[in-house]
Amino acid sequence: MDILEIIESKKNKRALSKEQINYWIEEYCKGNIKDYQSSALLMAIRLNGMEKREIFNLTEAMMNSGDIIDLSPIDGVKCDKHSTGGVGDKTSLALCPMVAALGIKVAKMSGRGLGFTGGTLDKLESIPGFSILLSPEKFVQSVNSIGMSIIGQSDNLVLADKKLYALRDVTGTVDSIPLIASSIMSKKLAAGCNCILLDVKYGSGAFMRTKADAEELAKVMVEIGCHFKRDVRAEITSMNQPLGLAVGNILEVQEAVNTLLGKGPKDFTELCLSSGATMLLQAKLYDDREKARKDLLETITSGKAYEIFLKFVENQGGDIRYIKDFSLFPKAEYKHEIKADRSGYLTAFDTMGVGLLSMHLGAGRETKEDVIDYDAGIILNKKLGDQVSKGDVLMTLYTDRCNVEDKVSSAKNLVTISDEMILEPKVVEEVISYDDKEKKFIIEEE
Ligand code: URA
């Protein structure tokens, strides 16, 4: 086999065989295929696409390029949840204890934030003492006893994705549905859960700009899941505004905890209830969505989900005094209020701009090496559809940096205020699953 032949095949729009795909991934991981050759092949895939069969084979080859996690020592149904990345997306922090309170086992491996999107691990590490490193034995024991654990992805999980993603990032080949789907699904499959809920986001703060693109990506990933005999469902959610009101690590932990105490923002609470209900249906612990939602709400009102969150944090070394008393958390040195310069209705957010602003304030990383200020970030005072009066505070920025004046002064451009009123947008637009017997997608409109 020869890599040049494989590149020529894809360049000429021919489908690659399983052997060709395996050869590429294996030899690239061993260093026998050069970055410039893989770059050429990635661009040919980006331009000419892949058939389903090729995507399944690529996912499998990538999945087998590193460790495959065995979760069989964990009793019960193991569920995972993955978001394609958003701004203010702290869902795992509140959702996982809620579903764990109803019997789902959450054995989750998460990632760090980069660029405009945040990462669950960074949010958790903003709790003093919290460790995302557990031995495999302690991970299993934690999930069995508490119902949940969230740790960092092992260094050896899907080695091919580590190399390929870095290459795609610098060769203009990130925005390819076959490459995104195989990258995400190889990691989710290798992480070993029976059921996987994908939150595929679209809009001004997401990889996928349109709902149609998000649906196409979601369908490919759901079909990959079905091919590998897992129950994978995908919810399509809008990132046309940040999720909830808080963006930034400590601020988001506090918002997630408030949500577990029944004081969360409406859209974020709704996402947790809807996602949780889908996970409970996937786990076959419920067969009625409404009943599942009702019981999820009860995990909040009874305090059960909050108790699980406290146990989870304590078990991983986190100091729960901070969770019980937010005033202990460090505060950012500077605070800037951004005020509306006209009256009207908030009709659009530049959500990616909000994510980038938060990064510049210190809450995120521009490069992998950057250090995060956990207390930095943004609190929104207004959301889409809200009425605004001239002089109202639209958002408050928190930072420890004194050299971000230009970013602060352009922050008001991140929202559009118009005369026309718009309706509050839906949180979850639809849930996509696949009926393998009938060979068709099922789309539930929320
Ligand atoms: N997230 C991933 O893990 N992979 C991609 O290709 C895009 C987003």
Q: What is the DSSP letter of 65?
A: T
Q: What is the mean pLDDT of the chain?
A: 96
Evaluate whether 83 touches 204 at the Cβ level (below 8 Å): no
From the number of C-beta atoms within 10 Å of its C-beta (0-12, 13-18, 19+), residue 228 rates as middle
Model pLDDT for residues 313-343, shown as the tens digit of each residue: 999 999 999 999 999 999 999 999 999 999 9
Model pLDDT for residues 143-181, shown as the tens digit of each residue: 999 999 999 988 889 999 999 999 998 999 999 999 999
Could you tell me the two tokens for 342? 């006209």
Residue 114, pLDDT score: 78
CA of 101 to the centre of ligand 1 (A): 30
Ligand 1 contact via 183 beta carbon (within 6 Å): yes
From the number of C-beta atoms within 10 Å of its C-beta (0-12, 13-18, 19+), residue 441 rates as middle
Residue 154, pLDDT score: 83
pLDDT band at 407 (very low <50, low <70, confident <90, very high): very high
Residue 171, pLDDT score: 93
Ligand 1 contact via 180 beta carbon (within 6 Å): yes
Model pLDDT for residues 359-387, shown as the tens digit of each residue: 999 999 988 888 999 999 999 999 999 99
pLDDT band at 11 (very low <50, low <70, confident <90, very high): very high
Residue 73, pLDDT score: 96
Residue 367, pLDDT score: 83
Evaluate whether 350 touches 414 at the Cβ level (below 8 Å): yes
Strand ranges (DSSP E) for 280-370? 334-339, 344-349
Give the nearest ligand 1 atom to 179 CA. Answer: 6
The DSSP annotation for 316-338 comes to TT--HHHHH-GGGS---SEEEEE
Quick check: 184 pLDDT over 90?
yes
Question: Could you give the residue numbers annotated as active site?
Answer: 82, 161, 168, 183, 187
> What average pLDDT does this structure show over 78-92?
95
Percent of all residues in the chain with a pLDDT value above 90, rounded to a whole number = 93
- The rounded distance, in Å, linking the Cα atoms of 226 and 230 is 6
What distances in angstroms separate CA 443 from CA 209, 217, 236, 400, one per listed residue? Answer: 20, 14, 10, 46
Give the nearest ligand 1 atom to 168 CA. Answer: 6
- The rounded distance, in Å, linking the Cα atoms of 341 and 389 is 8
The residue whose CA has the least distance to atom 6 of ligand 1 is: 180
> What average pLDDT does this structure show over 69-75?
94
Give the nearest ligand 1 atom to 165 CA. Answer: 6
Model pLDDT for residues 104-154, shown as the tens digit of each residue: 999 999 988 878 888 999 999 999 999 999 999 999 999 999 999 999 988
Evaluate whether 83 touches 184 at the Cβ level (below 8 Å): no
Mutation pick for ligand 1 pocket among 84, 185, 199, 208 (CB with most ligand atoms within 8 Å): 84
pLDDT band at 303 (very low <50, low <70, confident <90, very high): very high
Residue 311, pLDDT score: 98
Model pLDDT for residues 205-231, shown as the tens digit of each residue: 998 999 999 999 999 999 999 999 999
Quick check: 305 pLDDT over 80?
yes
CA of 72 to the centre of ligand 1 (A): 27
Side-by-side strand order, sheet with 415-418? 387-388, 344-349, 415-418
Q: What is the DSSP letter of 189?
A: H
CA of 54 to the centre of ligand 1 (A): 18
Residue 112, pLDDT score: 85
Quick check: 417 pLDDT over 90?
yes
User: In the beta sheet, which residues pair with residue 236?
Assistant: 200, 430
- Give residue 145's identity as a one-letter amino acid code: S
CA of 18 to the centre of ligand 1 (A): 22
Model pLDDT for residues 12-70, shown as the tens digit of each residue: 999 999 999 999 999 999 999 999 999 999 999 999 999 999 999 999 999 999 999 99
- The rounded distance, in Å, linking the Cα atoms of 116 and 133 is 25
> What average pLDDT does this structure show over 262-275?
98
Residue 438, pLDDT score: 93
- Secondary structure of residue 435 in the 3-state scheme: strand
Residue 116, pLDDT score: 85
The residue whose CA has the least distance to atom 3 of ligand 1 is: 184
CA of 206 to the centre of ligand 1 (A): 11
Residue 169, pLDDT score: 87
Residue 333, pLDDT score: 98
